[in-house]
Amino acid sequence: MKRFARTGPVKPDRHYLIPPLERVDLDDVLTLIREEQYFVLHAPRQTGKTSVLLALRDLLQGGGPAGDLRCIYASLGTGRTVGEDVGHATRLILDELADAARSQGDGTLEGLRREVVETTVPEAAVKHALARWAEADARPLVLLLDEVDTLTGNPLLSLLSQLREGYPDRPARFPQSVVLCGLRDVQDYRAPGAKGSPFNIKAKSLRLGDFSEAETLALLGQHTEETGQAFAEEALATVWRETRGQPWLVNALAHEACFESRTGRDRSRAITGEEILEARERLIGGRVTHLHNLAERLKEERVRRVIEPILSGGDGDDITDDDLDYVRDLGLVALDDPIRIANPIYAEVVPRVVSSRAQRAMTQRTGWYVKDGRLDLETLLGAFQEWFRENSEHWVERFGSYEAGPQLLLHSFLHRVVNGGGWIHREQPLGAGRADLLIQWPGGVDGGTRRYVVECKLARRGVDRAVAEGLRQTARYMDRCGAESGHLVVFDLDGNRSWSEKTYRREEAFEGRTVTVWGM
């Protein structure tokens, strides 16, 4: 039985898959190779880059559509251990290339690499080895180099410089075409103080995108075709909504629902939307490697400079193009405007990570805000209002530069909803001055979920203006989500006003809807 792929490249005999070469413009790739070009393929982690390279290697080997070529795939992933040691990096690169070539029946580099290393300075050894390797066979040589950017600093600059120096001698005395693959475009790697890239021979930079909605549904459909187990329409919509097609998330979410859940393994019943949401929480709560690596990136200052205004609803005027490109290359932020976190699962992980210390400090009791199986959001928000008054000064300071501290505290407090069996969806529109929360709770009509909207605003330009804007935003969000109740939480950070002035609860009407306003 096939499964959803969660680790390593996809294997057609073992995994449901979207054919890797259908995810790129293959005609464009083959044209670049035929025209003897060097180019880049980049994408975030676990998007399918390695699967594409391996499929391309298999297509090109032994007289493929680009001619009679030698095509060698090699991963430089162990390069992360070499630091700034160019000599160590040189030996590693040649070892990986020689091993990959030998596994494909080409022992030429294996025989000459030691001689080259012993007779050539490290800064030129790769160039000399590639030249002699290319000369040893009349068939042009194509290299697919994966995880190039695990090399950093001088080792990476040395490799790129040597490829550039040998480039004019292709294809007779140097590789005809080289594909460099990694998280980022190599144009972003420069020597300290340098104005240009050391790899100015690059013809093109290709980015491997996420699945489209059609591809996402097609992948899930392969499971249905093989096992007979259907996905309910709500389940299909939920997978797409929560992942926005991020390949690892799509596969991991479907695997969790179909193979890890006892009820999901019953092929006689369809996977429901609620089961997809439960699988989502298990993935997030389990701190799987993919999401853990994402969380680690939040410690980087250039990532914080982009994420902070998204979390707070700030205007983002200080976000630089370089920082934005960086977080987009990491897959944290969507490629298109408006600037936002890439998908709802990441949007849930990011504030949880930033506010994790606060979450651990809050007592996670569940029973007191559930009455007759229904969520008592009034009681929960009232308890938070009291807690915020007593504790906010201490905790907001601990969030450091994050202006979103008050919202993050509310997110942390409401996280107990998740522990009680519900789900929270977050939206943080950049420049909107707010954060939107949609809470779903089991027990709706016909087995569906009940929906509640909580809108958070910082009173940056006065409380009255924040309330007026917030009422309109909350009412419209309620309408869009089909929520049965809406709550507007307004954080007044004016230190000159007393807590008795800032703390209140009242109901307001807007466009035929009633919104409960909580002042804090």
pLDDT tens per residue, range 138-164: 999 999 999 999 998 999 999 999 999
The confidence band for 198, taking pLDDT boundaries of 50, 70 and 90, is low
The confidence band for 295, taking pLDDT boundaries of 50, 70 and 90, is confident
* Cβ(10)–Cβ(248) below 8 Å: no
- Across 218-227, average pLDDT: 98
The confidence band for 419, taking pLDDT boundaries of 50, 70 and 90, is low
pLDDT of the residue at 185: 86
Q: What is the Cα–Cα distance from 82 to 80, expressed in whole angstroms?
A: 6
pLDDT of the residue at 187: 65
Whether 517 shows a pLDDT value over 90: the answer reads yes
Residue at 326: amino acid letter: Y
Helix or strand or coil: residue 408?
helix
* Long-range pairs, 322-330, Cβ under 8 A, ≥24: 325/188, 326/184, 326/188, 326/302, 327/297, 327/302, 327/303, 329/42, 329/44, 329/183, 329/184, 329/185, 329/188, 330/44, 330/183, 330/294, 330/297, 330/303
DSSP-derived secondary structure for 286-337: TT-HHHHHHHHHTTSHHHHHHHHHHHHT---TT--HHHHHHHHHTTSB-SSS
Residues spanned by CATH 3.40.50.300 within the chain? 19-207
Q: What is the Cα–Cα distance from 48 to 118, expressed in whole angstroms?
A: 37
The confidence band for 491, taking pLDDT boundaries of 50, 70 and 90, is very high
pLDDT of the residue at 231: 98
Percent of the chain predicted with pLDDT > 70: 93
- Across 442-453, average pLDDT: 80
Percent of the chain predicted with pLDDT > 90: 69
Whether 94 shows a pLDDT value over 70: the answer reads yes
Q: Among residues 81, 116, 83, 84, which one has the least CA distance to residue 97?
A: 116
Whether 359 shows a pLDDT value over 80: the answer reads no
307-316, 392-401, 402-411: segment of lowest average pLDDT: 392-401
Whether 76 shows a pLDDT value over 70: the answer reads yes
122-136, 238-252, 494-508: segment of lowest average pLDDT: 494-508
Please state which architecture CATH assigns to domain 19-207: 3-Layer(aba) Sandwich (3.40)
27-41 confidence digits (pLDDT tens)? 999 999 999 999 999
255-259, 344-348, 415-419: segment of lowest average pLDDT: 415-419
Whether 357 shows a pLDDT value over 80: the answer reads no
- Across 228-242, average pLDDT: 97
Q: For the domain with range 213-286, which CATH number is right: 3.30.1330, 1.10.10, 1.10.3470, 1.10.8? A: 1.10.8
Q: What is the Cα–Cα distance from 158 to 156, expressed in whole angstroms?
A: 5
The confidence band for 22, taking pLDDT boundaries of 50, 70 and 90, is very high
65-69, 163-167, 252-256, 321-325: segment of lowest average pLDDT: 65-69
pLDDT of the residue at 346: 94
- Across 396-402, average pLDDT: 63
> Rounded mean pLDDT of the chain?
91
pLDDT of the residue at 207: 96
102-132 confidence digits (pLDDT tens)? 999 999 999 999 999 999 999 999 999 999 9
Rg (CA), the chain: 27
Residues spanned by CATH 1.10.8 within the chain? 213-286
The confidence band for 408, taking pLDDT boundaries of 50, 70 and 90, is confident
Residue at 296: amino acid letter: E
| β-pair type (370-371, 202-207) | unpaired
